[in-house]
Chains A and B, each alone.
Chain A
Amino acid sequence: MRRLLRWWRGLYESPVLLTAFAVVLGLVVGMFVIIFTTTPVLDAWRSVLNSWGGPGHALKTTLDHVGAAYRAMFNGAIIDPSTLWHSLNTGQGWTQTLTPLSETLTYATPLTIASIGVGITFQTGLFNIGANGQAIIGGIIGVAIGSSLHLPTIILMPLTLLAGIAGGIITGAIPGLLKAFTGAHEVIVTLMFNYVANLSLIFALLSTPLQQPGQGNDISRTLRPGALLSPLFGTTSGLRVNWGLFIAAAIVVLAWWFLERSSLGFEFRVSGANPHAARVSGINPRKVTIYAFLISGGLAGLAGITQVAGTTHYIDGGFLVGSAGIGFTAITVSLLGRNRPIGIMWGALLFAALGVGGRAMQATTGIPLDLATIIQYAIVLFIATPVLVEEIFRMRARSAGGLQLASQGWNT
């Protein structure tokens, strides 16, 4: 067991290998979930037990079902080989062939942006649990601008995005300022601001001019055509992947430069790695806290408005609520990517693929979407667990050692 742990710990040195391994293990977990929840598979195994027959049939049934589920997931999230073959041969049906990939990229776009925002606070040693609220407010303000102003695209488009960023910045600034000047814990404040944002959304949709005229429901006006992030292959292509993809890619590059190459990013990382040394070295902790929340909030706001301008074009009462809450998923994705922009990008793609593929699997095989969620979080657990388990082992060793720690002085 210990040797296994050490080996695993060694894997941890190579994040790519570790993640690949965790994905495989996540799929194995998913396999067992399928076995225990799919009636034909269970029946096949029960008959093995009852009649003492060979397990051949049961094994085959299992592999059939698991294989079908995962094939559906892959085909739905990335590409279906059979339609690809068809398209290659006939030149037809490219929309259908490319839809899975387009959907995955569409989902990954705002998720990447929001996750990088969360990752920047993590790198600074701060927790932004309120990215979802910041994204919601970003969406509201962005829609307010983008649905009402009559301006040419070249002005309205950036203005709408900036409005979304501003919404996120304002929402992120409050916990940042409170933390910097009063010491209020940012986890509590950001968490609570999610509720403020949710209720602000309902208020904006029901009681302000933002509501779709002539509507009693909680639906906003639609963005003006000039405010939309149009689909990459044209509105008639049927593929939803849009120009937001390039915004996300730019954010990945910018965030990488910021953290790895800029002076402020260096100060962020120093503060995150050792706040005491940061202070002694002349880094102003207030400045770093406030800036980190401004940047993180701004990115969350951008994620919110990118989602609206690229995909939904309007917001309703279900905007970023529940499983659509990319601001919450962003926390997980950021951890999955070890808070680094490039890692986060891959994490967001993986999460998007599993979500999109899960929906396709549900449609073709009837296995519920929840399986995809189980796999998502099993992967996260497998990545996080080695540290956890090791910690438990170490604690046990410590209590066995008794006074050992206390008795170690300067000359250890």
Chain B
Amino acid sequence: MRVELRGITKRFGTFTANDQISLTVEPGQIHCLLGENGAGKSTLMNVLFGLLRPDEGQILIDGEPVTFANSGEAVRRGIGMVHQHFMLVPVFSVAENVVLGFEPTKSFNRLDRLRARESIHEASQRFGLEVDPDAIVEELPVGIQQRVEILKALNHDAQLLILDEPTAVLTPQEIDALIGIMRSLKDAGKSILFISHKLREVREVSDVITVIRQGRVVGTAEPTDSETQLASLMVGRDVSLTVTKEAHEAGASRLEIRDLVVRDDRGVAVVDGVSLDVRAGEIVALAGVQGNGQTELVEALAGVRPVESGTITLDGRDITNATPREILDAGLGHVPEDRQRDGLVLSMSVADNLVLNTPRATPYARRGSRRRSEVRRNAEERIRDFDIRTESPEAPVSSLSGGNQQKVILARELSRPLKVLVAAQPTRGLDVGSIEYVHRQIVETRNAGQGVVIISSELDEVLALGDRVAVMHHGKIMGVVAPSTSRETIGLLMAGVVLEEVAGA
């Protein structure tokens, strides 16, 4: 099936999310849509999948113009979509999920499990999608759940498969497996539209790359182009993808975590006996697939989640189960994972957000009264030093871009006297330019002799920044390795293989 998008324009109010976008996906082609966060990739895919209606432009399938009133019509025309967040019923089996909505039935409307199982078996055979049809979805690892999503789309006879950021939740090994599946689908004549902003995998798997920026197609690229070329095209200027990190001698231990156990909201021990040391002047990067306890570990460090057992010591001082105030004052800087939820008050001004966790500190307040001139002077200084792009210090922080919002948080934390900086997903959702900047700041913090802990689900980031890399799986640290360790080894650790076995293999 040949799918052509011709001059697609989609506006939201005055904002043009897609501006005259044209692209063609040939049968049996893996077409990659490359662009930064906010470039308009998801909007375009939602238009193609019938979830949004374009303001202008046409969709053509095999040369014939079509319009979709809803996603059901798109599915009937052979378009399948695998969303970033899976749409599966967790308590159903794989087979039940795959046939959901199109169930084969026997007499009296009874579900024909045999036929359901057969169709999965057949698809598994044809495309190399190994899945146990009787497994319960919630018990499967994320990578397999994704296969179930793909099977679901194939079961609806999809000829064009849209994969929206499919690798965001996968370990490196799972990513390799997915790439294998994509290739076999391609060999079977299916087309794939692959959305991503990760250059490595884009180059590895794509036949054609279309780069979009600010809602426009800015060019097409070959998979043979270098990552730097692709990045420049994506961002619109020259970027350096490598973090320049001077060698630095680590000093005395600053943060000591011993046998830490932390439970999540459901009472599951998601941090299960973690011990870790962070020394002055080093970056410890915590790698791991999302949801393996990193979030809760950071929350416990920041004092917003109770520690069940174990201890946290910051520069010789026990901060286990101390209040967030005490921990902040003890010199722990915290860049929260969800910056808009935990790091900022969006309706308040940039100036106020820059003193959000020090409103009573000298010189911002005296005897219970805020000193607004000092708050403003501080804001002007930070805006200058950290190059925060804002209309004025009094503008609400909600008016800033994601990258600049993150700069506000970094500026706030790095301007306090810190002993250790804990940054969770510090570059999530940021554009390449901002990522460069944030990385630079983190390295400089480490060079200034502070201990740094980075939590990231982007392996590239972990390897680029970390002086040591700790890999977490199911609440445990599987091993602490050097950043020069192969991606494969780290991938195995992320999947829960213990270090000794990895080394032995």
Contact = CB atoms under 8 A, between A and B. Distances in A.
Interface string A235-246: 000000000000
Interface stretch (A59-67, A98-106, A140-148, A261-269): A261-269
Given A264-B368, A274-B346, A277-B344, A407 B81 contact: yes
A277 B370 contact: no
A401 interface: yes
A263 B83 contact: no
A195 B365 CA distance: 42
A264 B365 CA distance: 10
Contact of B343 (A280, A401, A411): A280
B70 A402 contact: yes
Interface residues of B, number: 53
A409 B473 CA distance: 24
Contact of A406 (B39, B85, B357): B85
B345 A279 contact: no
Contacts of A90: none
Contacts of B348: 269-270, 273
B101 to A, nearest CB: 13
Given A277-B344, A402-B70, A407-B49, A284 B81 contact: no
A281 to B, nearest CB: 4
Given A262-B368, A282-B357, A403 B344 contact: no
B42 interface: yes
Contacts of B35: 411
A408 interface: yes
B220 interface: no
Interface residues of A, number: 30
Given A404-B51, A410-B37, A263 B368 contact: yes
Given A261-B370, A262-B370, A404-B52, A281 B324 contact: yes
Contact of A412 (B43, B346, B356): B43
A276 interface: yes
Interface in B2-40: 35, 37-39
Interface string B46-57: 100101100000
A282 B348 CA distance: 17
Contact of B323 (A270, A277, A284, A404): A284
B483 interface: no
A91 to B, nearest CB: 48
Interface in A359-411: 401-404, 406-411
A402 to B, nearest CB: 6
Contacts of B195: 411
Interface in B321-366: 323-325, 327-329, 334, 336, 341-348, 352, 356-357, 359-360, 365
A280 B336 contact: yes
B12 to A, nearest CB: 11
A400 B484 CA distance: 51
B369 A270 contact: no
A267 B358 CA distance: 10
B165 interface: yes
A272 B323 CA distance: 20
B41 interface: yes
Given A263-B369, A409-B164, A403 B51 contact: yes
Contacts of A264: 368
A402 B51 contact: yes
B121 interface: no
Interface in A277-295: 277-284
A273 B347 contact: yes
Contact of A281 (B39, B347, B357): B357
B342 A276 contact: yes
A406 B42 CA distance: 12
A263 B46 contact: no
Contacts of B345: 270, 273-274, 277-278
Contacts of B327: 282
Nearest to B325: A282
B49 to A, nearest CB: 7
B359 A263 contact: yes
Taking each of A267, A269, A410, which has the highest tally of chain B beta carbons within 10 Å of its own beta carbon? A410
Nearest to A282: B325
A260 to B, nearest CB: 8
A183 to B, nearest CB: 14
A263 B429 CA distance: 33
Nearest to B84: A409
Given A261-B369, A273-B345, A407 B323 contact: no
B168 interface: yes
A86 B197 CA distance: 81
Contacts of A410: 37, 84, 165, 168, 428-429
A409 B368 contact: no
A361 to B, nearest CB: 41
A125 to B, nearest CB: 11
Contact of A280 (B49, B83, B302): B302
Contact of A277 (B42, B356, B429): B356
Nearest to B329: A282
B91 interface: no
A281 B81 contact: no
B304 interface: yes
11 contacts: A261-B372, A277-B342, A277-B343, A280-B304, A282-B329, A407-B51, A407-B83, A411-B35, A411-B38, A411-B42, A412-B38
Shortest 7 CB-CB contacts between residues of A and residues of B: A409-B84, A282-B325, A281-B357, A282-B324, A280-B342, A274-B345, A263-B365
Interface of B: 35, 37-39, 41-43, 46, 49, 51-52, 70-71, 81, 83-85, 87, 164-165, 168, 195, 197, 302, 304, 323-325, 327-329, 334, 336, 341-348, 352, 356-357, 359-360, 365, 368-370, 372, 428-429
Given A261-B372, A276-B342, A412-B37, 17 more contacts: A261-B369, A262-B369, A263-B359, A274-B346, A274-B347, A277-B356, A279-B304, A279-B324, A280-B304, A280-B336, A401-B52, A410-B37, A410-B428, A411-B35, A411-B38, A411-B84, A411-B164
